[in-house]
Amino acid sequence: MVTTHRLFADAWLAPLSPDLPADAAASVIAAALAQMHDAQERFRHRLQDVELSGDPTHIRPLLQAETALLPEAASSADNAVHGVMERVAFKRRALLPLFPPLLERLRLAHADAVVECARARWRLMARRAATDPGAPSSPIQGLGTRYVKSDRFDARAMEQLPPDDRVRADRALKRLGDYPIPVELDIRPLSGGGLDSVGLWTIKAGGTNRFILRRDQDRRGPHFVVEDVGPWREEAGH
């Protein structure tokens, strides 16, 4: 699984010591950067496999990697490098300039991985909404804009949002029925970052969360079916 993948290993810096010549220390850092690059590539390939599978059971693990595992790994890696700095570079000041580029690359690598997980998660969500839509769960609501939750929505919401966020999402959704749709809901087609899907739209769901909406029509005319909701990152749409 993607969630077990690591972008950094403490062992890569094990050869460093205060007695190591500067050129040799620079080579150890360069090798660590190269290994991190390779780890990122393997991570991206695994994400591609997850996306190609189209399996929605990956959505929750991707969210866990994005919001917990990768940030924790980034913090652990940062602490490990600072530990090596205290053990080595603070005793050998000439080696200190080798570490800031490594720390910056570590932070960027984990930040990129977080965005890539979010993008993969939303692509799977969009595919599920388009290929496995639900039926209306209740009479269609809204005096202006008409909408209804799909009968798959509640289970999907529980998959990604804690209870407080689900309450906020329900409050935001009720405003979709206003006419015109409030500008602050930021309704727009779900597009960018490989998310382009004909007929899918998105609106804000409170906080950083967004809904996925599907266009449908009945004898009274067009309406939105609310299929999914989850944490959103603007970078995922780029």
Mean pLDDT, each 10-residue run in order, the chain (238 residues): 75 95 96 97 96 96 96 96 94 93 97 96 96 94 91 97 97 92 95 78 97 94 96 90
pLDDT of residue 4: 56
The b/e string for 201-222 (b: 16+ C-beta within 10 A; e otherwise) is: bbbbbbeebbbbbbebeeeeee
Q: What pLDDT is attached to residue 214?
A: 96
pLDDT of residue 3: 54
pLDDT at 135: 94
Kindly give, in sequence order, each residue whose CB lies less than 8 Å from that of residue 211, ignoring residues fewer than 6 positions away: 169, 172, 173, 202, 203, 204, 205, 226, 227, 228, 229
| pLDDT value of position 237 | 82
Tell me which CATH code domain 147-237 carries: 3.30.2310.20
Q: What is the pLDDT of residue 192?
A: 77
